[in-house]
Structure 1
Amino acid sequence: MAVEHPLATPAGDQTRIHNIGYRSYDGPRLGRAYARRSLYSQSLRGAYGLGRSVKSKVLPMLLFAVMCVPAAIMVAVAVVTKAHELPVSYSRYALLLQAVISLYVASQAPQSVSRDLRFKTVPLYFSRPIETADYVQAKFAALASALFVLTGAPLLVLYVGSLLAKMGFAHQTKEFGQGLVTVALLSLLFAGIGLVIAAVTPRRGFGIAAVIAVLTISFGAVSTLQAIANAQNSAGAIPWIGLFSPATLIDGVQSSLLGGKSGYPGGVGPSGGEGLVYVLVTLGVTAASYGLLTRRYKKVGL
């Protein structure tokens, strides 16, 4: 007598395959460039909390306001008193508020990269037509652009105010351009350093603390050493010491090559030749930051 196998299909099986709507995509393939632009725009919006919760918008918008309010006050005073010159040069303004800029970098650099590391979504990016270089370029450019907006907006307020106060158009335009070059270099440098530090750990809190520590401690240590050198009549060492902190590095560039006043002790800034060294170091650190990020994400994407 034959025994029916328990897994055998019973006679008259009514099993059917239903079409539930899945179909292949036959539209245009937008490729890597589109993916890179999309990642850049989303990261830039995220740097100001746009497209995110209200809570995420509070800190970046507050810091943006803190950057712009002093400029608006200076403009109001200049217009009322009919001043012939702004109290602070365009290239020095951002450096006077470098603590605010450091706090912004510390809050937004980990937000840009630490979350992807923590939730292990980086390999998902690379499963699409996007490579390590595309991811790094988009994140780097987004944070640098956000910093440029943060530091460039108050300069625009100063420039418009100077024209309203009927200051010299040619002179103000020249100084405004020099100020934009200063904040562009600052944005690239701070963005690179912040992203490299934040990419080391998936913990956002650790990233914030590490970025604040590196930017503030280095500035404090360099400023202290410069003050000691100035007190010991070693003015020649002051410019070289300034190479070891991001803020003093930008200060040296703007004072030596962009017509700004030096914030170093005794007002001893780098000479023209030393200023070229400052530019090379600034560009070198920025390029090294990009290289370290690329190396980091080649490992993460495996």
Structure 2
Amino acid sequence: MAPQTSVIHDIGYQRYTGPRLGRWYANRSLYEHSVRAAFGIGRGAKAKIFPWMIIGIVLLVAVVVIAYRSISGQTLMSYRAYVDGLSYPVMLFLAIVAPELVSRDLRDRTLPLYFSRPLSRTDYALAKFGAIGTAVIILLAVPQLLIYIGAVFTRTDGFSGAWDELGDLGPGLAAALIRALILGSISLLVASLSGRRAFAAAFIVGVFLITSPIAAILATLGNDTIQHLAFLVNPMFLMMGVEQWMFGAPENGGMPIGNLGWAYGVGAVVLFGGSLLLLLQRYRKVAA
């Protein structure tokens, strides 16, 4: 029988004695990484193409608005109209970004690595939601601020003009926030259901597009009450209804919602709260 030659080598293992940054640092790091990922920062050129194409579109529209006002002295569109007009580019942006933030982790099975840290499942979902909401606000708010700066320089009434322009900017920024909350929560929820980014992107676009003709049919066939409430079916129309209720009808007359604007406010709260709760529930049950 061969003699036992096994030995134990002292390789100098030492316990970690550095700072333990804890749960808050993990949440902040995941949030910051996700915001960067939404714009393709820190990733290859392929990951930057579609997000920055959408960014280019919204900035180009802002440049046109600024140039028109500087040349003619007239306003091409209000800040609210700017946000409303970019609803579908924002939809495409979310269809690209939401799967990038959550579907990749499902496909690559990296969730167990996240959940083995102080980061909880709820923390993960909220960090991702915060990141996608921040991305939408940046996408819509920064061009509005550029338009505001350009408008202030074209006015001749000094501080009072800048203050009046700020009052016009407020509804536009509020519209950006509404889209960040509602569209961000819906898109992230849909994307969290599939590990395949192409499928998730198609599902997100489908949610917004399929409900549009349904709203149009209801508005055509229903009675007065149904016609006023028909636009609740589509998230895009819903947000416009909320803005119309909060800030009044736009110059083009807006949507025929009658005196039921409050229903759009309630619908927006229910849609946002329901989507966020379902997202949290999804990550409580997802396999890790």
The TM-score, its normalising length taken from structure 2, stands at 0.91
CA drift at 1:235:
5.2
Matches within 5 A, 1:80-119: 80-83=71-74, 86-119=75-108
CA distance in 2, matches of 1:157, 1:218: 33
1:42-61 correspondence to structure 2 within 5 Å: 42-61=33-52
CA contact (8 A) 1:262 1:268 kept: no
Q: Does 1:17 align with 2:6?
A: no
Task: Kindly state the Cα deviation for residue 262 of structure 1 after the two structures are TM-superposed.
Answer: 7.5
Matched letter for residue 32 of structure 1: R
State the secondary structure of the residue aligned to 1:35.
helix
Q: CA RMSD in A?
A: 2.1
CA contact (8 A) 2:218 2:226 kept: no
* Structure 2: runs of 5 or more not aligned: none
Asked if residue 153 in structure 1 is aligned to residue 153 in structure 2, the reply is no
**Match for residue 240 of structure 2 among 251, 256, 262:** 251
In 2, are the aligned partners of 1:126 and 1:301 still within 8 Å (CA)? no
Q: Which moved more, 1:125-134 or 1:236-245?
A: 236-245
Tell me the SS of whatever aligns to 1:170: helix
* Matching residue within 156, 162, 165 for 1:172: 165
Do the aligned partners of 1:49 and 1:57 also contact (CA within 8 Å) in 2? yes
Amino acid at match of 1:294: L
Give the Cα–Cα distance (whole angstroms) in 1 for the partners of residues 217 and 67 of structure 2. Answer: 35
Mapped to 1, the partners of 2:162 and 2:224 lie a distance apart of 36
Residues 163-186 of structure 1: CA deviation (Å, up to 9, x unaligned): 122073232111201111111011
State the shift of 1:225 in Å: 3.8
Identity of aligned residues (%): 32
- Partner residue of 2:20? 29
| CA distance in 2 between partners of 1:152 and 1:44 (Å) | 15
Alpha-carbon distance in 2 for matches of 1:131, 1:242: 37
- Please list, as runs of the form range in 1=range in 2, the aligned pairs for 1:1-302 lying within 5 A after superposition: 5-6=1-2, 8-9=3-4, 13=5, 15=7, 17-19=9-11, 22-83=13-74, 86-166=75-155, 168-226=161-219, 228=220, 236-261=225-250, 267-271=254-258, 274-302=260-288
CA distance in 1, matches of 2:217, 2:47: 36
How far is 1:67 from its partner?
0.9
Contact kept? 1:115, 1:202, Cα under 8 Å: yes
- How many pairs align? 284
What is the CA distance between 1:298 and its match in structure 2? 1.1
Distance 1:127 1:47, change over 3 A: same
CA contact (8 A) 1:39 1:138 kept: yes
SS in 1 for 2:42: coil
Does the 8 A contact of 1:71 with 1:154 survive in 2?
yes
Bigger CA radius of gyration: 1
Q: Distance in 2 between matches of 1:268 and 1:124?
A: 48
TM-score, normalization by structure 1 = 0.87
Residues 170, 260 of structure 1: alpha-carbon distance in 2 compared, 3 angstrom cutoff: farther
> Which whole-Å CA distance do the structure 1 matches of 2:51 and 2:153 have between them?
29
AA matched with 1:180? L
Taking the aligned partners of 1:255 and 1:44, their CA distance within structure 2 comes to 30
